[in-house]
Structure 1
Amino acid sequence: MNNHVDHSVGGDDAARLESLGYKSEFRRDMSLWANFALGFTYLSPVVGIYTVFGISLALGGPPMIWALLIAGLGQLLVALVFGEVVSQFPLAGGVYPWARRLYGRKWAWLTGWVYLMALFSTIAGVAYGAAPYVASFVGFEAGLYSSVICALGILAIATAINFMGTKVLAQAAIIGFLAEIIGALVVGTYLIVFHRHQDFSVLLNTFGSEKDGSYLAAFCAASLIGVFQYYGFEACGDVAEEVPDPGRRIPKSMRRTIYIGGAAATFVCLALTLSVVDFRAVIDGTNTDPVATILTSAFGPIGAWGVIGVVLISFLSCVMSLQAAASRLVYAYARDRMIFCSGLLSKFSHEKFVPPYALLLSAVVPAIVVIGSMISTGALMKIIGFSSVGIYIAFQMVVYASVRARFKGWKPSGEYQLGKWGMLVNLGALAYGLVAIIVIGWPRTPDVAWYDNWIVFLSAGVVIGVGLLYMAIARPHLRSDAPYGDAAQQPLTGPSSERSLA
C-alpha cells in the first residue's frame, strides 16, 4: 500500500517537473525530515555561533546576541517568500531557476552567479573555521599553514560523502543534525546549569566595547553573528528535485529551519555568553578564543575533547550540505547551458544520482579560496563577510524579482501561498535585506589600508562586475530555450485550501 502511494507521488512529481520544462533525473530519496536536516545543518547553529562568537563578542560585547533575534525575524520573511516561490517552481538549483521564472534570463544568470560565488566562499569559510577545532581535537597548535591543511582535509571528506549519493547525503545530514542538537542543547544546558558566571543583565551591558564611539556602530559590526547565522534554509529548495511532494514539504522545511535553527543558535550564544568569566579580556584582545577557554574550563581537557569532536561533526555536515547546494546550482546552470563547460558540468551519474563534475567544482573552487587566504590578514572574517554579503545580494535579487512579478500580475499558484499577506511580506523581506547588506559590508578595520577595509563591498563589486562582463561577452543567458519570465502566465496548480501563511 505504501509503495503504491510513493509511486503515485513520484509520478505526479515527475509530471510536474516535465510541465516546468525539465526531465526528472534525480531520485526522490529525501524525506521531509532529511530535507529539514539538510537545511538545518547548512544553517548550522553550532558552526555559525562557534565560528563568529569570539569576533562578535570582542566587537560588541554581550548585547551582540540581539543581532540573532533581528536577523532571525528578517530572514523568516525571506524564507516565507522563498517557500511561496519554490512551491510553484520546485526546481533544482534554488535561486537561479526561481529568478529565471520570476524575472528573466539576464537577471537569473547574474543571481545564480553571485549566489554561486558566495556559496563557494561560504564552503571555504566554514572549512577554514573548523581548523582550530581540528587542531584542538588532534592536539597541535593551529597556525596559518596547519589551518589551511585542516580546511582542505574537511573539504575532501565532505566531497567524498557527497559523491556517495542522495541517500547517503540524507543519512549524513541526519547524523549532522543530531550532532548539532548535542552541541547546541546538551552542551548549552550543561554550561548554563553548571558553568554559569554571569546573570542575564550582562545582555544589556556593553563592557566598553564601543570604545570612544557610538555603540550602534559597534553593534552593527558585531551583528555579523546574526547575518552569518540565518541562511541555509534555501538549501531545502536547492534539492527540490530530490524531495517527494516538494511544493508542500520544502516550504515547511524552510520555516522549520528558521524556527528551530534560530532558537538553537540563540540558546548556544546565550549559554556561551553567560559562561564568560571576563568580558573585558575578550574585548581588549587578551582572550582571543573565548569558546576554547569556556569548553576547557567547563569540561576539562578530556570532556572538551569530546565536545570538540561533536562540534567537528557539525562543521563537516555543514560543509557537506553547502556543497550539495552548490553542486545542484552548478548542475542547474549547466543543463541550461548557462556556464562554461556545460557539457561536462551537466553530466549526471545514474548510479549515484548526483552530478559528479558539478560536485567536484564545488570542492576545487573553495579549496582555491582556502589556499588563497594565506595572502590576507584576518582571512576568516573577510571570507565570512563576502560570503554573507554575496548570499544576501542573491537572496534580495530573488525577493525583488518576486515583488516585481507581483506588480506585473503574478499570482502564486503553488501549494503554499501567503495570500493577502504576500506583498507586505515581500516588501518587508526586501527592506530587511537591503539594510543587512549595508551592515555586512560596512568597514570594520579602520587601521588597515582602505582597500582592505572595504574588501567586502569591493569583492562583491568584482564578482558582479566579472559576471556582467562575462555575460556581455559570452552571452550565456541566450544559450538555453528553457522557460523564463513566465511566472504571471503559470496556471494555478495548488488547491485553494492550502493557500495560507501557516
Structure 2
Amino acid sequence: MNPVQHENPPVSEDEKLLHSMGYAQELSRRMSGFSNFAISFSIICILAGGITAFPSGLSAGGGAAIGIGWPVGALFAAIVAAAMAQIASAYPTAGGLYHWASILGGKGLGWVTAWINLLGLIFVVASVNFGVYDPFFKTLVAPLLGINPDKLTWTEQTLFIGGITLSQAWLNHMGIKITSKLTDISGYLIFAVSTVLTVSLLVYAKGPLDFSRLVQFTNYTGADGSAWPKMDNSVMVFLAGLLLTVYTLTGYDASAHTSEETQHAAHNVPKGIIRSVLWSALFGYIMICTFVLVMPDMAAGVKSGMGFLDLLLSTLPAPLKAALGISIFLCNYLCGLACLTSTSRMMYAFARDGGLPFSHQLKQVHATHRTPVLAIWVSAILAIAATLYGDAFLVLSTACAVLLYISYVLPTAAGFFAEGRSWTHKGPFSLGAASKPIALLATLGGGVLAFVGMQPPNEKVLYITIALLVVLMFFWFVLGVRKTFKGPPVGERIERHQAHIKEIESVLNES
C-alpha cells in the first residue's frame, strides 16, 4: 500500500468506515486535523480552567500543588487521553465514548456511559459560561465599561449567561464551518494570549523570582480564603490540589464527538485528543507557575481567592491589562462555544440510537446547515437551567470534571478486558504492546482524579453521582430500558441499516 495514501486516506474512506458501523453521513465533514485539535484545545482552554481553578490548587498545598501537582495530574490526563485515542481511532463516531463503551462492554455500559458523559458535558457548558460572567466579565470587562460589579445582581447574571449561551447555540446552528473557524481562531488565540500574559507578568514582576516556591509544600487548607476545609493528612492535601488539573485538562472527548465532521477521522481524531492535552499541559504549566512566582505574597494570594488574577494584573499598565482582560474573556466565550458543539453531538449520537426521550426529534439534522439543531438548542437550554442553582460554579466546575473522567474510564476499562477477545480491530493509531498497561493506568489514574473531585467541600458531587447512578439503575432494571434500548447497530443490524443509510443521505443531499 502507498504509505502516503495510508496516512491521508480519501474522504470517501471516512464515509465508508462510518457506513460499516451502521450510520449515515448526516453531518458535514468539513473539519481539518487542526480544527479537530482546536476544538478540544479550546474546551480545555488553560485561560479558563487554569485561572478559575487555580485558587483550589494554591489553597491546598501551596506552590508545590502547582509546581509538582500539575505535572502529576497532567501525566494522569495524558495516559487517559492515549487510551481514549486508541479506541477513537478504531471507532471514529460522534458520541464516541458511548459508542466505545457499548461495543467493548455491552449496551448497558454504553447507556450508563452516555448519560454520565452527557450530564458532564451539560455541566461543562454551564460552568464555562458561568465563568465567562464571573469572574471574567465582572472582574475584567465590567469596569472597562463603567459598570460597578458590586451592583450586578442574580438577574443580570442570569440574563448575561442566558444571552451568551443562546448566541453560542445560534453559531452552532449555522453549521460546523463557522464553528470550526471560530475554534481555530480560539486555538491560536489561547497560545498567543497565554504567552503574552505570562511574559507580561514576568516583565512587570516586583522583586526577584523565588523558584523554590514551586516545590514548597504549605498546607493552606482551612486558612482564610482557602477553597478547602482543614485537612491534616498531607497526602489528601496534595490530592486536593490536583483538582486544578482535573478541571482544566478535561473536555478532550470533543475531538471524538466531532469525528463524523472530521476529515481522515481515524488518523486525525486520536492526534487531536493527545495533542490538545500535551500542548495544554505544557503552556498551562508555564502560565500557572508564573502566577506563583510573581505573586507578592502566597498567603495573600490564597486569601484573595478568585481575585488573585485581578491582583496580579494590577501590576501591568492599564492598556495592557485591558487588552488581556478582553482577550481572556473572548477565549472563554469561544471555549463555551466549543463545549456546546461537543455536547450537542453527544446528544445527537445518543438520540440516533434511541437512548433519549424524544430521540426522533433530537436526532434530526438540518438539511442545509447539516447540524443537529434541536440537540443544540436543548443542550443550551439545559446548560442555562443548570446555572440557576445558587452555588452553581463550584458545584458545576467540579461535577463536570468528575463525571467526564468517570465517562472516560468506563470505555477504557471495557477496552482493557475486551482487547484480544471481542476487540480485535485496531485503527491506524495503536499503542501496541503498551495498550493494556496504559489502559490499566488510565483506569486507575482517572479513578483517582474523579475521587479527588468528590472530597469536601465538594461532597455534593458525590451525591449527584450516586443519585444519577441510582436513577439510571432504576430505569434500566425496573422500568425495563434494558429490553427496549438496542444500542449501536452491530452484526446483522448493520447490514439491515445499509438501505436506510442510502435513503437518509439521498434526502439530505437533495435538500
Question: How far apart are 1:242 and its partner, in Å?
Answer: 0.6
Decide whether aligned partners of structure 1 residues 237 and 485 sit closer, same or farther in structure 2, where only a CA change above 3 A counts: farther
- In 2, the alpha carbon distance for the partners of 1:400 and 1:184 equals 35
The equivalent of 1:244 in structure 2 is: 263
Matches within 5 A, 1:138-217: 138-139=142-143, 140-141=148-149, 145=154, 146-195=156-205, 197=207, 198-210=209-221, 213-217=232-236
Question: How far apart are 1:151 and its partner, in Å?
Answer: 2.4
- In 1, the alpha carbon distance for the partners of 2:73 and 2:289 equals 16
Decide whether aligned partners of structure 1 residues 267 and 408 sit closer, same or farther in structure 2, where only a CA change above 3 A counts: same
The equivalent of 2:73 in structure 1 is: 71
Question: How far apart are 1:287 and its partner, in Å?
Answer: 5.8
Decide whether aligned partners of structure 1 residues 231 and 288 sit closer, same or farther in structure 2, where only a CA change above 3 A counts: closer
8 Å CA contact 1:39, 1:235 repeated in 2: yes
1:483 to 2:496 alignment: no
Q: Cα RMSD over matched residues? A: 2.3
Question: How far apart are 1:386 and its partner, in Å?
Answer: 1.0
1:289 to 2:307 alignment: yes
Q: List per-residue Cα deviations over 1:299-330 (Å, max 9, x = no partner).
A: 33x32221111111111111111111111111
Decide whether aligned partners of structure 1 residues 481 and 55 sit closer, same or farther in structure 2, where only a CA change above 3 A counts: closer
1:130 to 2:132 alignment: yes
- In 1, the alpha carbon distance for the partners of 2:8 and 2:267 equals 17
- In 2, the alpha carbon distance for the partners of 1:5 and 1:415 equals 9
Q: List per-residue Cα deviations over 1:188-226 (Å, max 9, x = no partner).
A: 122123326532111122455156723333222222101
Flag structure 2 segments of 5+ consecutive residues without an equivalent: 223-229, 493-511
Decide whether aligned partners of structure 1 residues 433 and 128 sit closer, same or farther in structure 2, where only a CA change above 3 A counts: same
Write the letter of the residue equivalent to 1:188.
T
- In 1, the alpha carbon distance for the partners of 2:487 and 2:467 equals 29
Question: How far apart are 1:470 and its partner, in Å?
Answer: 2.5
8 Å CA contact 2:63, 2:214 repeated in 1: yes
Decide whether aligned partners of structure 1 residues 273 and 243 sit closer, same or farther in structure 2, where only a CA change above 3 A counts: same
Flag structure 1 segments of 5+ consecutive residues without an equivalent: 445-452, 487-502
The equivalent of 1:46 in structure 2 is: 47
8 Å CA contact 1:99, 1:398 repeated in 2: yes
Of 454, 459, 470, the match for 2:459 = 454
User: SS at 1:289's partner residue?
Assistant: helix
8 Å CA contact 2:49, 2:244 repeated in 1: yes
Q: Which segment drifts farther, 60-69 or 136-145?
A: 136-145
The equivalent of 2:243 in structure 1 is: 224
Decide whether aligned partners of structure 1 residues 97 and 189 sit closer, same or farther in structure 2, where only a CA change above 3 A counts: same
8 Å CA contact 1:101, 1:485 repeated in 2: no
Write the letter of the residue equivalent to 1:199.
D
8 Å CA contact 2:60, 2:219 repeated in 1: no
The equivalent of 1:335 in structure 2 is: 352
- In 1, the alpha carbon distance for the partners of 2:19 and 2:204 equals 57
- In 2, the alpha carbon distance for the partners of 1:8 and 1:49 equals 37
8 Å CA contact 2:128, 2:335 repeated in 1: yes
User: SS at 2:426's partner residue?
Assistant: coil
User: SS at 1:175's partner residue?
Assistant: helix
Write the letter of the residue equivalent to 1:110.
V
Q: Which segment drifts farther, 456-465 or 105-114?
A: 456-465
- In 1, the alpha carbon distance for the partners of 2:459 and 2:56 equals 18
- In 1, the alpha carbon distance for the partners of 2:179 and 2:304 equals 41
8 Å CA contact 1:339, 1:476 repeated in 2: no
- In 2, the alpha carbon distance for the partners of 1:233 and 1:194 equals 34
Q: So what's the TM-score if we normalise by structure 2? A: 0.87
Work out the number of aligned pairs and report it. 469
1:306 to 2:306 alignment: no
Q: Which segment drifts farther, 229-238 or 331-340?
A: 229-238
- In 2, the alpha carbon distance for the partners of 1:43 and 1:385 equals 14
Matches within 5 A, 1:254-403: 254-283=273-302, 285-286=303-304, 288-300=306-318, 302-371=319-388, 373-374=389-390, 376=391, 379-403=392-416
